[in-house]
Structure 1
Amino acid sequence: MTDLLQLLKANFPFTSFRGEQEQVLHKVWANQNLLALMPTGMGKSLCFQFPAKTREGLVVVISPLIALMQDQVFKAQELGISATFLSSTLSRDERESRQNRLAKGDFKLIYVTPERFRKPEFLQAIEKRAIQLLAVDEAHCISQWGHDFRPDYSRVGEFRALLGNPPTLALTATATPEVQKDILKKLNMEDALIISAGIERPNLALNVHDIYGIDEKIRAIVGLRHLTPGTAIIYCSLIQTLKKVSSALNRLGMAHLVYHGDLPPQDRKRNQKAFQTEEAPLMIATPAFGLGIDKSNVRLLIHAETPNSLESYFQEVGRAGRDGAESSCHLLYDQDDVSIQMEFLKWSHPEPDFIRKIYQLIEDKRMQVDQGGFDFLREQMNFRNRRDFRSEAAVSILERWGCLQKSDDPFPFACVQAPTDEQFLAENDEAILRAQNTKLLQMVQWANQDSECRMNRIYAYFGHEHTEPCGKCDICKR
């Protein structure tokens, strides 16, 4: 039997495995198919970096997060692994160069989004390689009952078959029993082993505060920050809420960093770096912040708006207290936020005609789109509600389908091909919308209940029964 610990010490700057890493790697070594449930911060990446560095053959990682790929490749390269990624953010020349090198065997580890499997030139490059492992990161995206369903992810079973069904490791931090079953079914590996690293976070105190209006939220944030010094994150679903909180804290002289999609990329990078390096920063951010952030001493985590599901909520609070020390998490629950999330869900699934018209506008009125961006698109679609994000949702769907690709124009997307009827059929919006509304309802029920330990209620949701109350949440303390 391979001595994995010796291999670890010889090839990585670690002296021991964490959590379930070793158990997972023994199964990978035996070429077994596997679903691993590993909490955020438990070192999922090592489970595919390790075989990439120490065994023959290529490791292919399917990931939904283009924004994180660059970062993950840097980390792998620092560990001495020849790694790269392919995504729509690269120029055509760069993509072709990487694909040629991939075919020649220059890389041991490659990150791709599932959409890449629709490109014949990628399939040609990869079929020349012996694939030792297919890793599916954020595997809950496969299931339409998951909280972050991506239609292209549901085809990963097909892509797996195209690669000759190599040994497969599916990884996620959050999946209910129903979602776990769906992941294995969609990957055509229903007989696979499930390793659950447990989701227990005994050092987190979960609290819910009934609050009305932005002013009350700001007072609560200031009070909680004074009570809990140290590293802190405040999550806002809406950028406009984030900006209001930020300007109120500026007026009060409370130093903080901000992170959201409207910030120029260089500002986002700078603030992210400051958060990593400062002693006790306070970060106000949209939920995208925190993916791939490895700061272990977050002592305070506040949700200024209600997340859209218990999965999202638990993933986000999971970014607190990764060092195992006591940390407090607070949801500022305002009934009005629920309707914002319902609108969000509605907007994230625009009608097919709407999506087609957006594509047409980008193609036919390029100059005006470059000048006016999303504001111009909104006006052309005859609505001026600043909180209506259907245009953004349509562009993101078109990019996911490969109809648009990233470009250096003022409006950063260029037309490639018009959407097809087949793409609309595959999207199955109604069922997804129903599933997402159910998840939102479960989140609201969790926030409103006042009789059961908050942590135990979450454990039960994920299929882990726990009888001992946490003793730390607002309900236990009451």
Structure 2
Amino acid sequence: MFQPDLSRLLRENFPFDSFRGEQESILRKIWANEDLLALMPTGMGKSLCFQFPAKVRDGLVVVISPLIALMQDQVYKAQDLGISATFLSSTLTRDERESRQARIAKGEFKLLYVTPERFRKPEFLEAIKSCKIQLLAVDEAHCISQWGHDFRPDYSRVGEFRQILGNPPTVALTATATPEVQKDILAKLFIPDAEIISAGIERPNLGLHVHDVYGVDEKIRAIIGLHHQTPGATIVYCSLIQTLKKVAGALSRMGLKPLVYHGDLPPQDRKRNQKQFISDPAPLMIATPAFGLGIDKNNVRLLIHAETPSSLESYFQEVGRAGRDGVDSFCHLLYDQEDVSIQMEFLKWSHPEPDFIRKIYQLIEEKRMQVDQEGFDFLREQMNFKNRRDFRAEAAVSILERWGCLEKSDDPFPFAIVHEPTAEQFAAENGVEVLRAQNTKLLKMVQWATQDSECRLNMIYHYFGHAHEVPCGKCDVCTTRGPE
């Protein structure tokens, strides 16, 4: 097949002089209509891999993404590049969805972002069936595998959706996938022999450190000390919003003026704080781990985990947001053994028992007035639990919405009944196996954090199947042990 001068096309159509990493190799495969899996570390510009064909070639590029919160930003960025782009998600009104689907059917867009759940909607399938689809891009492809760190059952059906679209050339993209997960992604997409291109996961400029601490007060003292030691942009990650508020409050009282970012903030406040983080030369951001996805700030010098992540995949993805400019940056995990039991509770509550999910559905259906009046508090009370950290009711509602059993509504409790959950849906969720896999990942995270004999960066490289024997010389293990 004829291969154009991709570098010339890049300069003519994008504000870049040259490709980065493996971008050109990936685009050559896409140009040849070959399927592939691309492993690209955070900050290596994977968006260009679907923006480029959308702008330069005929036909529609469909991007499957789990990140509804980022879709609008991704569409704005594509439009700024002169690409006719849109998205479909549950955040749109019915009129907005219908209008966009009519325009999709007319071929008015070149780039479309959707969640995998959208393929369950007949009206969407009707709109897209007349389109010439030049490329299917599966972003965050690790979500396909139940052995991945962020399994989404609807993602496991992307292979079926690909068949519905007529098996277009497909690129799956992820920053973090073990060899087992890579193999599973290709099998689930029905492209088992597709080539895997790895842009490498090496981050030699990151110094990874673990500190044993006990309690939130000790964490706050450590954060203040590390912030004073390391000038420049700082992100502090907290898994729990209540921890985040305690940390932010304490730092405010010290006169440090932190920015905050979490799911309970009004959207306009989140957006304002995100913009300020990007524009300030040396901001201090206290955030939940969702902050950082799609954030283009390449000079984060200090990244602190105030609570232990649930997997090495999550940890490495999050520390990857530091030092994207290649300059030395420092990442500190404040390890409190109590955080591990909190993560275990999180994992358990994310996978409620089938009987629990059925009961939640019945309560929403049969006790609508009370549910509208008291919301999740009523559901929790009816299920006989009042632990503030127990979010099984929220998890059950989220699962029921994902299955199409509930849909967003304008009622005081913003979900309407559609249909009862089916035995097939419970079987596909495979909660017991997924929970076991996630607990294994948490154990690997704990083993990594508590050992003090092997280079921390090398342990992560080995975990992802990359042979790397030279110690980094920057982590706490290497600097304590000294040169060999």
TM-score (norm 1): 0.98
- 1:40 aligned onto 2:29: no
The amino acid of 2:464's aligned partner reads: F
Judged with a 3 Å threshold, the aligned counterparts in structure 2 of structure 1 residues 284 and 110 are, in CA distance, closer, same or farther, namely same
Following the alignment from structure 2 to structure 1, what is the Cα–Cα distance between the partners of residues 369 and 84? Answer: 42
Tell me the equivalent position of 1:133.
135
SS class of match (1:129)? coil
Following the alignment from structure 2 to structure 1, what is the Cα–Cα distance between the partners of residues 369 and 20? Answer: 53
Tell me the equivalent position of 2:311.
309
Tell me the equivalent position of 1:18.
20
Q: How many residues align?
A: 478
The amino acid of 1:290's aligned partner reads: G
With 168-177 and 94-103 compared, the bigger mean Cα shift is at 94-103
- 1:399 aligned onto 2:401: yes
Structure 2 counterparts to residues 289-304 of structure 1, below 5 A: 289-304=291-306
Compute the displacement of 1:200 (Å): 0.4
Any unmatched runs of 5+ in structure 2?
none
With 99-108 and 307-316 compared, the bigger mean Cα shift is at 99-108
Tell me the equivalent position of 2:77.
75
Tell me the equivalent position of 1:237.
239
Structure 1's consecutive aligned runs of 4 or more residues displaced over 6 angstroms after TM superposition are none
The amino acid of 2:370's aligned partner reads: Q
The amino acid of 1:12's aligned partner reads: F
Structure 2 counterparts to residues 182-331 of structure 1, below 5 A: 182-331=184-333
Any unmatched runs of 5+ in structure 1?
none
- 1:432 aligned onto 2:434: yes
Compute the displacement of 1:214 (Å): 1.1
Following the alignment from structure 2 to structure 1, what is the Cα–Cα distance between the partners of residues 232 and 314? Answer: 24
Tell me the equivalent position of 2:112.
110
The amino acid of 2:173's aligned partner reads: L
Tell me the equivalent position of 2:391.
389
| RMSD of aligned alpha carbons | 1.1
Tell me the equivalent position of 1:467.
469
Following the alignment from structure 1 to structure 2, what is the Cα–Cα distance between the partners of residues 273 and 408? Answer: 30
Following the alignment from structure 1 to structure 2, what is the Cα–Cα distance between the partners of residues 82 and 251? Answer: 47
Following the alignment from structure 1 to structure 2, what is the Cα–Cα distance between the partners of residues 121 and 39? Answer: 36
- 1:64 aligned onto 2:66: yes
Structure 2 counterparts to residues 366-381 of structure 1, below 5 A: 366-381=368-383
SS class of match (2:323)? coil
Compute the displacement of 1:234 (Å): 0.5
Structure 2 counterparts to residues 444-455 of structure 1, below 5 A: 444-455=446-457
SS class of match (1:287)? coil
The amino acid of 2:392's aligned partner reads: R
The amino acid of 1:67's aligned partner reads: A
Following the alignment from structure 1 to structure 2, what is the Cα–Cα distance between the partners of residues 295 and 364? Answer: 49
Compute the displacement of 1:375 (Å): 2.1
Compute the displacement of 1:91 (Å): 1.2
The amino acid of 1:168's aligned partner reads: T
Judged with a 3 Å threshold, the aligned counterparts in structure 2 of structure 1 residues 277 and 363 are, in CA distance, closer, same or farther, namely farther
- 1:366-408 CA-to-partner distances (Å, cap 9, x unmatched) read 4433343322221221111001010111121122112223334
SS class of match (2:76)? helix
With 218-227 and 419-428 compared, the bigger mean Cα shift is at 419-428
Following the alignment from structure 2 to structure 1, what is the Cα–Cα distance between the partners of residues 178 and 162? Answer: 23
- 1:119 aligned onto 2:82: no
Compute the displacement of 1:88 (Å): 1.2
Tell me the equivalent position of 2:458.
456
SS class of match (1:125)? helix
The amino acid of 2:437's aligned partner reads: A
Following the alignment from structure 1 to structure 2, what is the Cα–Cα distance between the partners of residues 90 and 152? Answer: 20
The amino acid of 1:224's aligned partner reads: L
The amino acid of 2:242's aligned partner reads: Q
SS class of match (2:137)? strand
With 213-222 and 408-417 compared, the bigger mean Cα shift is at 408-417
The amino acid of 1:301's aligned partner reads: L
Following the alignment from structure 1 to structure 2, what is the Cα–Cα distance between the partners of residues 125 and 324? Answer: 44
Compute the displacement of 1:74 (Å): 0.8
Judged with a 3 Å threshold, the aligned counterparts in structure 2 of structure 1 residues 194 and 126 are, in CA distance, closer, same or farther, namely same
The amino acid of 1:385's aligned partner reads: N
Following the alignment from structure 2 to structure 1, what is the Cα–Cα distance between the partners of residues 288 and 228? Answer: 22
SS class of match (1:346)? helix
Tell me the equivalent position of 2:425.
423
Compute the displacement of 1:191 (Å): 1.1
Tell me the equivalent position of 1:353.
355
The amino acid of 2:312's aligned partner reads: L
The amino acid of 1:293's aligned partner reads: I
- 1:344 aligned onto 2:346: yes
Following the alignment from structure 1 to structure 2, what is the Cα–Cα distance between the partners of residues 415 and 250? Answer: 44
- 1:295-329 CA-to-partner distances (Å, cap 9, x unmatched) read 11111000000000000000000000011111000
Following the alignment from structure 1 to structure 2, what is the Cα–Cα distance between the partners of residues 42 and 458? Answer: 19
Compute the displacement of 1:355 (Å): 1.4
With 264-273 and 8-17 compared, the bigger mean Cα shift is at 264-273
SS class of match (1:98)? helix
Following the alignment from structure 2 to structure 1, what is the Cα–Cα distance between the partners of residues 21 and 77? Answer: 20
Q: Percent identity of the aligned residues?
A: 82
Compute the displacement of 1:47 (Å): 0.2
Structure 2 counterparts to residues 149-188 of structure 1, below 5 A: 149-188=151-190
The amino acid of 1:118's aligned partner reads: R
- 1:121-164 CA-to-partner distances (Å, cap 9, x unmatched) read 11111110111100000000000100000011111111111111
Compute the displacement of 1:467 (Å): 1.1
Judged with a 3 Å threshold, the aligned counterparts in structure 2 of structure 1 residues 179 and 392 are, in CA distance, closer, same or farther, namely same
Following the alignment from structure 2 to structure 1, what is the Cα–Cα distance between the partners of residues 252 and 377? Answer: 28
Following the alignment from structure 1 to structure 2, what is the Cα–Cα distance between the partners of residues 371 and 66? Answer: 28
SS class of match (2:193)? coil
TM-score (norm 2): 0.97
Judged with a 3 Å threshold, the aligned counterparts in structure 2 of structure 1 residues 136 and 225 are, in CA distance, closer, same or farther, namely same
SS class of match (2:207)? strand
Compute the displacement of 1:360 (Å): 2.6
- 1:107-131 CA-to-partner distances (Å, cap 9, x unmatched) read 1111111111111111111110111
Compute the displacement of 1:27 (Å): 0.5
Following the alignment from structure 2 to structure 1, what is the Cα–Cα distance between the partners of residues 120 and 94? Answer: 16
